[in-house]
Amino acid sequence: MNKKEWPLWEVFVRSKNGLEHRHFGSLHAADADMAIENARDVYTRRSEGVSIWVVQSSDITASNPEESGELFEPAKDKVYRHPTFYELPDELKHM
Amino acid sequence: MDIKSLEDRFEAKIAAGESIEPKDWMPEKYRKTHIRQISQHAHSEIVGMLPEGNWITRAPSLRRKVALLAKVQDEAGHGLYLYSAAETLGITRDEMTEQLLSGKAKYSSIFNYPTLTWADIGAIGWLVDGAAIINQVMLTRTSFGPYARAMVRICKEESFHQRQGYEIMLTLCNGTPEQKAMAQDALNRWWWPSLMMFGPRDAESPHTEQSMKWKIKRKTNDDLRQQFVDITKPQADILGISIPDENLKWNEASGHYDFGAIDWDEFWQVVNGNGQCNKDRISAKQKAWDEGAWVRAAAVAHAEKKANKKQKLSA
Ligand SMILES: [Fe+2]
Ligand SMILES: [Fe+2]
């Protein structure tokens, strides 16, 4: 008997139009069509969604937490990217 | 980085209340503890469908039937959320299934009790889901991210489970004397096993200290059990049936209910495989696994065929 496991899929659901698809979880399915059907049953039993994306988990490239330093450190000292960096008088309104 | 400093960094993160995510470095014991705990939790959801499934075809009305069907379907969903949370730690779904079938992995011993009457469905929703909710609400703040997120989703769904169970009890208790007696009988049989769901007393629970330190658990077994008793006693009073414990009394000084001693021999008997339904539960799961083998294989074959066809078309 074929002992191949069904691949793992990541499920993204748009809960209503106007909102982005958000990661909801994962599930196993033999192919993409089945993944969407299973996602409907597993993640939207109470009308939690209007649209589903599925992507095979093995197709996702993730950043490595060990390298978070190199990756995210450069943004840390750039306070001038935030509005609060700029010193303006209190009486200035609407800015 | 050497192990010692990785460990220090991990402990500091936990102490600061940060979540641990699957790709973060974690001590091997933290990983193993989670694989064990999350997979056993998943197995409990899955095996837990069996005692209730027993009554779906015999539910007394269509209203009760659709509710029970939806509840059991939710429990399947809970099992699936939890299996995928465990998979992020490097165990496969098939490995977990094999561990359940071989008996290597346990599931909650409550599901080794039989559902003898319709009132048992009421008692399970009220007491068993009630106890599970107390445990699971605590776990929404557990330190491992995927486990905590699965718990948030599960807790949102559990409330209906308990309410539908309590409504069954309420209907029986407002019914004929025979129906009320049936509700009382179910409470008598499910009360003590429900208290056992919180696990051994703190003094006899070897994992508690480490679990609290790693913020896997936020409250001890005894604290959770006390919380359950305090919440449930007034609910039994509303039903007008009595909890089968002559030592259950309000304690003015402690602000909690005192309650009688739990039969821990029974608990360990059931955990170790000698409950009334242990064999039935595993053989039902084994049968489903074996008889589903061709379906799993056929789905893979179908997917491969479709993928080949698509490739040919685009070639
Ligand atoms: Fe559940
Ligand atoms: Fe439930």
Contact B25 A66 (CB under 8 A): yes
Mean local confidence (pLDDT), B218-240 = 97
Q: Residue B68: which of B77, B57, B84 has the closest Cα? A: B57
Per-residue pLDDT tens digits for B255-282: 999 999 999 999 999 999 999 999 999 9
Q: Report the pLDDT value the prediction gives residue B163, as an integer from 0 to 100.
A: 97
- Give the per-residue pLDDT at B154: 96
pLDDT above 70 covers what percent of chain A? 97
CB atoms within 10 A of CB B112: 24
pLDDT category at A1 given cuts 50, 70, 90 is: very low
Structure tokens at B202: 């703190």
Average pLDDT (B136-149) is 96
Structure tokens at A75: 């943004």
Report the residue of A11, A15, A28, A33 to disrupt the B interface, i.e. the one with the largest count of B CBs within 10 Å. Answer: A28
Task: Band the pLDDT of A3: cuts 50, 70, 90.
Answer: low
pLDDT more than 90, % of chain B: 93
Other CB atoms closer than 10 Å to residue B188's CB: what's the count? 14
Residues 32-71 of A with CB under 8 A from B: 34, 41-43, 45-46, 62, 64-66
pLDDT > 90 in chain A, percent:
81
How confident is the model over B287-308, as a mean pLDDT? 95
- Over residues B97-130, the pLDDT tens digits come to 999 999 999 999 999 999 999 999 999 999 999 9
Ligand nearest to the CA of B162: 2
| The residue type at B306 | K
Give the tens place of pLDDT for each residue, B11-45. Answer: 999 999 999 999 999 999 999 999 999 999 999 99
A27: contact with B, CB 8 A cutoff: yes
Question: All domains of chain A, ordered by start, with CATH?
Answer: 3-61 (3.10.20.520)
Q: Which of B23, B69, B300 to mutate to test the interface with A (most CBs of A within 10 A)?
A: B300
pLDDT in tens, A32-53: 999 999 999 999 999 999 999 9
Measured CA to CA, the distance from residue B199 to residue B195 in angstroms comes to: 8
Bridge partners of A56, per DSSP, are A9
> Ligand 2 centroid vs B45 CA: distance in angstroms?
8
CA–centroid distance, A94 to ligand 2, in Å, is 51
B71 confidence band (pLDDT: 50, 70, 90): very high
Contact call for residues B136 and B224 (beta carbons, < 8 A): no
